[in-house]
Amino acid sequence: MKSLLRMTAAAGALLAAPSFAFADCGIESGSVRILSNDFEALHVVASGAEECASATVEVTKNQTTEHKNIQVAALTTNPATYTVAVVANNSVVPLLNDGLIRPLDDLVEKYGQSLEPTQLIRIDGKVMAIAFMANAQHLHYRKDLLEEAGLEPPTSYEDILAGAAILREKGILATPLAANFKPGFDLAEEFVNMYLGYGGEFFEPGTPNASIVNEKGVAALETMKAMSGFMGPDFMTFDTNAIKPMWEASEVAILNGWGSRASALIDTEGPAPEVAANTVLAAAPTVGGGTTPAATLWWDGFAIAKNISDEDAEASFQAMMHGIRPEVAQEYAPVAVWLIKGYEPTPAAVGVIETLKAGAKPFPMLPYMGVLFTAIGENLAEFMQGQESAEQALEDATQAYNTAAREAGFLN
């Protein structure tokens, strides 16, 4: 009797669920196939889109950190393997370069009433992607340790270096600083932040010619080198995952870390509640007397594949709109810095919002920025370890960029 009851209930639920979801998203039919990176905020969005699955609407997802490496191949096939690509400022570029995503203007007009104008990523006037969250590297500092050393909260890298010296002198911490200096993406991003903080330009205006060998580039590198003097000896292997336990073990007092990971560091129910309670988030610091923070702003959003039927594109857009509806930003507010209407910033979002307000620049979406970024990430390590001069490192990076850009067809 009991099992019969359970079966009936289950059958009822099965029947009821899809029709409810159907009514909810308003999709008639189609296939929604999502490819995205793998972190919590994107899980929330993709699960939201999955609610739209029904007898006539198929929703599948592939959430993997390898998404960047498969997206071009997956969207080149016709029909494309995925209908939705969840992208960021850097990962949307290869899709744009190869013309693999479609303009969304008519879909925005039809289904995008809840979107804020700032969410629309317009390329040459056409909406090519919808942003739903923002991210940036920003300052984290330990209130208690700075007070113990008699320091004011730092607002510039000069403050940070002076503070680090005092923290070390007073014997409070031997290695007061940490930064993502692992060669590759992390090191390149730190340089990009610092170089923009000094007001540097990556390219000669209107051309793909790199222009990083200059005083600002050298100053950026020298500041990074000075910081490494206050870090643990393994600093060339530091990335976000390596720094988190160091922060929790109270080995580090000042850190410029990713906003998307901030909620874990201020989580008073996490592994180090006392450290978390004393962790303060603030705007990314300025450098060299500049007024804008030495940071780049990032957005995460979605784009719709070009090589799919209009029906699937429409279904995909509607499902994603369901995934980023205003209620999501309210219900999951602590998970990300949402760009969605009605979002109320939580304590974990303070750093990113302050950095945004202080006028930090977005990470450049230029077609050849990725090539330069890779060249930078691979060629700064020798300078950081004192094996070559800053000029030589920047020249090596430029040379690597020129070679790769020539092969990619950007330079002749």
For the bound state, the minimum distance from the C-beta of residue 195 to other proteins, rounded and expressed in Å, comes to 17
Q: Kind of pairing, strands 84-88 and 30-36?
A: parallel
Binder of other proteins out of 10, 15, 17, 174 (CB under 8 A):
174
Give yes or no for residue 403 binding other proteins (CB under 8 A).
Answer: yes
* C-alpha–C-alpha distance, residues 272 and 305, integer Å: 43
Two tokens, residue 188: 């390149």
Residues 230-289 that bind other proteins (CB under 8 A): 232-237
Q: What are the backbone dihedrals phi and psi of residue 2, each rounded to the nearest 5 degrees, phi first?
A: -60, -45
Mark out the alpha helices in 119-251 (DSSP H runs).
143-148, 157-169, 185-197, 215-228, 240-248
Contact range with other proteins by CB under 8 A, out of 24-32, 191-199, 227-235, 280-288? 227-235
Looking at residue 261, what DSSP letter applies? G
**Residue 336, class by beta-carbon neighbours within 10 Å (0-12 exposed, 13-18 middle, 19+ buried)?**
buried
Binder of other proteins out of 377, 390, 394, 397 (CB under 8 A):
377
Binder of other proteins out of 67, 102, 138, 182 (CB under 8 A):
182
Give yes or no for residue 396 binding other proteins (CB under 8 A).
Answer: yes
Partners of 346 in the β-ladder = none
Number of chain positions touching other proteins (CB under 8 A): 70
CA 19 to chain CA centroid, Å, is: 36
Q: Is the dihedral of CA 155, 157, 158, 162 positive or negative?
A: positive
Contact range with other proteins by CB under 8 A, out of 11-19, 57-65, 318-326, 397-405? 397-405
Contact 58, 64 (CB under 8 A): no
Give yes or no for residue 342 binding other proteins (CB under 8 A).
Answer: no
Contact range with other proteins by CB under 8 A, out of 22-30, 36-44, 138-146, 368-376? 368-376
Q: Which residues bind other proteins (CB under 8 A)?
A: 68-69, 89-91, 93-94, 96-99, 118-125, 131, 134, 174, 182-184, 206, 208, 232-237, 297, 299, 339, 356, 360-362, 364-368, 370-371, 373-374, 377-378, 381-382, 384-385, 387-388, 392, 396, 399-400, 402-404, 406-410, 412
